[in-house]
Structure 1
Amino acid sequence: MPTPQATLRSQHPRTGLTLLELLLVLGILSAVMGLGLGMFASLDLSKRQAVGLVRNALRSAQNSAISRRSEASVRIDPKLGRMSPRFQQVVGTWHFETPELVGAFGIQGRAIDAELTQDGYIGRALDFDVDAEGPRVELPIQRDTAADFRAGFALECALRRSGADAGEVANAGASFGLQVLRDGALRGWFAPQVLAQDGGAAKGGHVIAQSEPGALPLGVWRRVRLEYAGQELVLSLDGSAVARVEEQAPVWQLEGPLLLSSARTPFRGQLDVLVLTAVGAGEDVELPEGVSFSPESAVTLRFQAGGGLDRRAHTQPVRIGIDFADGARQWVGIGLYGTVE
């Protein structure tokens, strides 16, 4: 017959670990933790961080091109170890199908002696070749907070020249504009913001990109694009660059509305499908200390609307080299469809 003490021990079985078992468990944990710490110590997190920064900046620009349905770019400066993203925001589009001249984003124009013609580039178009002294259209873009062109701009339209005189095609608040010369050359310009003698900001002389004579012949529709994104002023006709000038200065702020044609020197011709875009500057991304871009990585990556690489600037995939203090180099690739690897 079991004693009362034995009965008590059977009702309360022994719990916990013996000293030997505890030492064995601690030994196993030490071994596992030692292996884990050694594994993490072998990882160079600074390299992962640098590569991640570059990939994130590139993917952010591509996502902007997709979501905004407009172009985006990333400028890489190996000397400073810096990436400068730029994105484009459409301020307004006008197709000039009705006399109200209302754009896609609600900016309504005012016609002064200008008329509409049925023979437009697409449908109707503005006609400045009329029997009036100074036919023109005013678009009050300066009232729109999105019309901040200090980081850059793009002005695109279809033009048809019907008179041999020189004329003002567009003037955006004395900040940038487009002219046609008597010989048929096109001239794009913008006013840079420069440093004044007193240390403040001042309006500088025009930066000009001008085509060869005859670029805009009489009676022919041409697609014209003038763009600047803090690196160069580019004038294009039908998708091909005809003039470019390097410049990095900010654009002078708007001083008034966008004028199409002018009272003093009107453009004698027709204008259609106007698109005005502002360039926005994203936050610069700088590489960590001891990390730099390879010299051949000095490039401006351009993403077209939709996210793929702009084929006008990139005919093949792009590779960005990242150099580390220990002499190692890692590559980040961007495919033609904009995928970042």
Structure 2
Amino acid sequence: MTLLELLIVMGLLAVMLGAGVGAFAGLDPGRRTALSTVTSTLRLARNEAVARRAGARVRIDVSRGAIRATGFRVVGTWRFEGLGVVDGFGPLAEIVGGELPFSRDGYMGRALDFSQGDPSARLEVAVQDDPGCDWGEGFDLGFVLRPVALGRSRLVEMGGAVGLDLRPDGGLNGWFISQSSGEDNRQVKGARTRLESPPGVVEAGRWSRVRLSHDGRFFRLYVDEVEVARSFQEGRLWRGPSALVVGGGPGGLAALVDDLTLAVAGTGYEALLPGGVDFAKDTIREILFSPSGGLDPIAHNAPIEILLEFDDGTNEQIYVGLYGTVEQ
């Protein structure tokens, strides 16, 4: 091999090696990992909100470089297809306080017919015995209801901390008790917050899907997936030592109830940014998604920008639109 040929080969090798090193350097896996971590967590929370039709949130800890998505997990569902036996999964549910027939005229199959049962008869679900059923950070309680007649009646009460009542005008009254700190920083019962719907949201003889929820900031009441009342109350809820009870209040309940479900705020998913990447100091600390998947209009009145800062002095922006879309 002549000297000229050797120089040509060495030049070609230099070009190939330089291009390869440049290509690998351009990949910058730390940058890609950071962007993927943030966008994936945001999309996870949005998808949870849409799937559960309940609020979800993302919390950002700037000092730790951590991002956490929290949605809801189902604790139990209960239906009434068996002859006197409550079907479903979750904490034990049983009928106490008297006879309570299963009507064939249910929403889907059979339903509990409180109008034909003993006034004191009620369904009790032992949520107080399930350590995983902690609704302090949020809950979503739903059922379908068909009043036979309208009157002032207890619909549900959970743990002595959350309740929903029927009014004679076809409206619904909700309430819950927040958690407060007492002496020696002990957790004690706090104030009671009330929620009232307009009249006529439910009608005698018509099935309606009713949902009561709290996402850590807002207490909401829905009828047929339409929000009919809302109240702002930030913080944990009180978790009392009693069961989830349906019916059985003073005067009984002249209604049929079917398809009872309960979900509580889960532990969530947390991810950390890789080394060499930080959230900007003024990054928003909490992002709330509404049940529709968009940004909660009460908490956010404009799209959200999240800025990631890299050690090399560059930055990347991630946007969350009002409809919940995540872009970079």
CA 1:117–1:38: 2 relative to 1, 3 Å: closer
- Aligned partner of 2:4 in structure 1 is none
Summarize the alignment of residues 20-99 of structure 1 with structure 2, pairs less than 5 Å apart.
48=32, 50-61=34-45, 70=52, 74-76=56-58, 83-99=67-83
Note the C-alpha offset of 1:102: 2.7
Number of residue pairs matched by the alignment: 314
For residue 323 of structure 1, the aligned residue among 300, 307, 317 is: 307
Summarize the alignment of residues 1-341 of structure 1 with structure 2, pairs less than 5 Å apart.
48=32, 50-61=34-45, 70=52, 74-76=56-58, 83-105=67-89, 107-113=92-98, 114-130=100-116, 132-284=118-270, 289=278, 291=280, 299-301=287-289, 309=293, 320-324=304-308, 328-332=315-319
Q: Distance in 1 between matches of 2:107 and 2:161?
A: 27
Question: Is residue 72–residue 85 contact of structure 1 (8 Å, CA) maintained in 2?
Answer: no
Task: Report the structure number with the largest CA radius of gyration.
Answer: 1
Note the C-alpha offset of 1:134: 1.5
- Aligned partner of 2:6 in structure 1 is none
What is the percentage of aligned positions where both structures have the same residue? 29
Q: Distance in 1 between matches of 2:112 and 2:148?
A: 13
Q: Distance in 2 between matches of 1:28 and 1:105?
A: 69
CA offsets 1:3-27 (integer angstroms, 9 cap, x no match): xxxxxxxxxxxxxxxxxxxxxx999
CA offsets 1:67-106 (integer angstroms, 9 cap, x no match): xx64576534689687441122211112212234333215
Q: Distance in 1 between matches of 2:244 and 2:125?
A: 5
CA 1:64–1:84: 2 relative to 1, 3 Å: same
Question: Is residue 50–residue 291 contact of structure 1 (8 Å, CA) maintained in 2?
Answer: no
CA offsets 1:269-321 (integer angstroms, 9 cap, x no match): 111111111111325557754525766x97423577xxxx47998xxxx9752
Q: Distance in 1 between matches of 2:290 and 2:151?
A: 37
Q: Secondary structure, in 3 states, of the residue corresponding to 1:245?
A: strand
Question: Residue 149 of structure 1 aligns to which amino acid in structure 2?
Answer: W
Note the C-alpha offset of 1:233: 0.8
- Aligned partner of 1:12 in structure 2 is none
Q: Distance in 1 between matches of 2:270 and 2:54?
A: 14
Q: Secondary structure, in 3 states, of the residue corresponding to 1:99?
A: coil
Question: Is residue 71–residue 87 contact of structure 1 (8 Å, CA) maintained in 2?
Answer: no
Q: Distance in 1 between matches of 2:131 and 2:60?
A: 34
Query: Unaligned 5+ residue runs, structure 2?
Result: 1-8
Question: Is residue 78–residue 89 contact of structure 2 (8 Å, CA) maintained in 1?
Answer: no
CA 1:283–1:331: 2 relative to 1, 3 Å: closer
What TM-score comes out, normalization by structure 2 length?
Answer: 0.75
Q: Distance in 2 between matches of 1:323 and 1:310?
A: 20
Q: Distance in 1 between matches of 2:240 and 2:10?
A: 72
